[in-house]
Amino acid sequence: MNNRPLLSVVIPTYNEEEDIEECLKTLYNQDYKKIEVIIVDDGSKDKTLRIVHRFKKVKLIKQNHKGPGAARNLGAKFAKGEILIFVDSDMSFPKNFLAKLTKPIIEGKAIGTTRETEIVKNTENIWSRCWGRVRVRRKESERAGAFRAIRTDKFFELGGFDSRYGYADDQTIFFKYGIRPTVAGGARCYHKNPETLKGVYNQSKWIGASIDNNLLLKIPMINLFALFIMVLFFPLSIIYLSLRKCYKNKDWEIFVPWMFIFITARYFGTIHGIINKIYFNKNAR
């Protein structure tokens, strides 16, 4: 037991007063006890810091608002553990999560891992339900490039996370080197979806502003044309995307009017984000 490596859990926070307490409680309740928790606050203006101060063991670092990628990199610099864990403040975890997540790394079978499944924990909320009851399934984890755990030496060797990817900064290593994390069998976690239309819009805006790998979107005339097409055909797009989302979620009870409203917020939030990225080079949350 004493030979287990120290895990450094890095959590970026930005106005997370509603969720950070549950996140920390479930981390300190893990079966795997040899951990340090590092919170990097990204300029919160609510009660986040006041809540964090209740947890005496937490190592707290502050930065100006630069986004989660920069916060994760900063937290990693202060980490003492052999393995870095990256989670979000609106996540919570079963007791065996850290043990399951790091098992392939500790056994020398992987340099980094990701969770197997990510379950939505607030499906009683209608807007969260529109996102879906499961955020990430096993098949999606196998295709994704988001690292939840990685050997500390490898993280720095590969240059850490790149903030220009915005919402997808935790996929930096995959984007740059084509390296995917190993799916850690049995590693299940819970994640909260936005609960208001404003939250849906802002999340979609952030995702839209993080579209950085599509070379076509870097050509000015194509940028303008693509945005024009998206606005022109939005009625048909809303219908199609609503049908597609309900089919994927296997949830037709919310098709009218909730899914139409939800998809409209997502659609125009995404357009807003693309405009922010193209014309203002802005992709922070």
What is the number of other CB atoms lying within 10 angstroms of the CB of residue 95?
11
Count of the separate structural domains present in the chain: 2
- What CATH number does the domain containing 31 carry? 3.90.550.10
H helix runs in 29-66, sequence order: 48-52
The per-residue pLDDT for 151 is: 98
Is the same domain home to 45 and 81? Answer: yes
CA–CA separation, 50 vs 175, rounded Å?
Answer: 36
Domain end marker among 138, 167, 191: 191
CA–CA separation, 271 vs 77, rounded Å?
Answer: 35
Nearest of 262, 270, 283 to residue 196 by alpha carbon: 262
Is the same domain home to 73 and 205? Answer: no
The per-residue pLDDT for 284 is: 65
The per-residue pLDDT for 215 is: 47
Is the same domain home to 151 and 235? Answer: no
Is the same domain home to 32 and 68? Answer: yes
What is the chain's pLDDT, residue by residue, as a tens digit (285 residues)? Answer: 458 999 999 999 999 999 999 999 999 999 999 999 999 999 999 999 999 999 999 999 999 999 999 999 999 999 999 999 999 999 999 999 999 999 999 999 999 999 999 999 999 999 999 999 999 999 999 998 999 999 999 999 999 999 888 899 999 999 999 999 999 999 999 999 999 999 999 999 999 888 655 544 566 667 677 788 888 999 999 999 999 999 999 999 999 999 999 999 999 999 999 888 888 878 767
Q: Domain of 240?
A: 197-280
DSSP string, 193-241: PP-SHHHHHHHHHHHHHT--S-GGGGSHHHHHHHHHHHHHTHHHHHHHH
